[in-house]
Structure 1
Amino acid sequence: MMFRQARSVAIVLLAAAGLAAGLLPALQASADGGMGYAVVPTEVIYPGDVISSGQLELVEVTNPNLSGDYAKTIKEVTGLVSKRTLLAGRTISVSGLREPFAVTRGANIRLVMSVGPMTITAAGTPLDDGSVGDTVRARNLDSGIIVSGTVLENGTIRVVAK
């Protein structure tokens, strides 16, 4: 009889140990604040589309092997442009996104050059697409000269003096 009780207690202890071992990773994950969250589209987003918050949802990451540069908050993705097709329910790689273009090739823009207190402006057209802060080439529409400059927030190009 004593042998049966000892055996029953051993089985219960082994079962409890096995259960605890199986739950240990889950308990550790919840103690660490979970595995985190990822942003996924709720619909297909095509290259060149500007991403809005209405196209996104935040989901809990359940795959412990998920790594990389996937988006973790909706704020870091909203307003950016997709470089590739984003499928619904799949994580969004941050490297597959870019800032929207402030100037587009062939559009009419203003070229601005400042030398000391003097500022010169001219009509121009960019030869490349560019986001704010990018260096692009542009053609002065009056003289036909090609210059390089930095794209500003208001869509003008600040020409660099040589």
Structure 2
Amino acid sequence: MMAMPIACSAFRRTALVLALVAGAMPAFAQESANQSADQSATQIASSQPAGEVVLIPNRVIYPGETIELAALKQVTLMAGKQKPDAVATRAEELNGKIAKRTLLPGRYIPTTAIREAWLVEQGAAVQVFFIAGGLTISATAVTLQPGAAGDLVKVRNIDSGKILSGTVMADGSIRVSAS
């Protein structure tokens, strides 16, 4: 009777260890000596100590949440430790971006876990432009999916009901081309 709980307990411990290891890679780092726990966003952005420095969350950041510098902590990697490829390390890479998945405190932030903020939301009315030489055609459409600048999104023309694909421009309009 005692063998079953012990095996079950060992199984649970193994599963927990595997879940923790697979979940995210920890940032092997030590806090900068000149950094306090409540360092302001300006100090994080301006102070860059010598050595390899990374930014990690100091609290849980949930999917869809805008990343603010106040939610990040600057750490210097310990001697002999190198950061993995494709992790965000600079304030400019993270400030104002949106988390695509849960970002845990003390873990690296993969660049694949963040995205640009949407310029157009799904269901929003937008201006659609077709420009060819001196010809410009504009129409109003409703977006069928959200998108950031440079993203290809589908929109539905309000007048004709036709679905078009176009590129989101920096001003929030959509530019379509002849196909």
- With the shorter chain as reference, the TM-score category is 0.7 to 0.9
Aligned counterpart for 2:150 among listed residues 129, 133, 156? 133
Tell me the secondary structure at the aligned position of residue 76 of structure 1: helix
User: What's the offset of the Cα at 1:66?
Assistant: 4.3
Tell me the secondary structure at the aligned position of residue 60 of structure 1: strand
What fraction of aligned residue pairs are identical, expressed as a percent?
Answer: 39
Tell me the secondary structure at the aligned position of residue 150 of structure 1: strand
Q: Deviations over 1:76-100 (max 9, x none)?
A: 1111111100112222111111111
Q: Give the aligned partner of residue 22 of structure 2.
A: none
Give me the whole-angstrom Cα distance separating, in 1, the residues matched to 2:82 and 2:125.
Answer: 49
**Kept in 2: contact 1:111–1:122 (CA 8 A):** yes
**Kept in 2: contact 1:137–1:148 (CA 8 A):** yes
Could you list the runs of 5+ residues in structure 2 that have no partner in the other structure?
Answer: 1-49
Q: Give the aligned partner of residue 95 of structure 2.
A: 78
**Kept in 2: contact 1:58–1:74 (CA 8 A):** no
Q: Would you say 1:110 and 2:131 are equivalent positions?
A: no
Give me the whole-angstrom Cα distance separating, in 2, the residues matched to 1:71 and 1:121.
Answer: 39
User: What's the offset of the Cα at 1:48?
Assistant: 0.8
Which structure 2 residues correspond to residues 5-154 of structure 1 after superposition, within 5 A?
Answer: 34=51, 36-62=52-78, 64=81, 66-154=83-171
Give me the whole-angstrom Cα distance separating, in 1, the residues matched to 2:83 and 2:119.
Answer: 34
Could you list the runs of 5+ residues in structure 1 that have no partner in the other structure?
Answer: 1-32
Length-normalised TM-score, structure 1: 0.74
Tell me the secondary structure at the aligned position of residue 167 of structure 2: strand
Tell me the secondary structure at the aligned position of residue 59 of structure 2: coil
**Kept in 2: contact 1:58–1:73 (CA 8 A):** no
Q: Given residue 49 of structure 1, which amino acid in structure 2 is its aligned partner?
A: E
RMSD, matched Cα: 1.6
Q: Given residue 145 of structure 1, which amino acid in structure 2 is its aligned partner?
A: K
Structure 1 residue ranges (4+ consecutive) displaced by more than 3 angstroms after TM superposition:
none
- Name which one, 1 or 2, has greater alpha-carbon Rg: 1
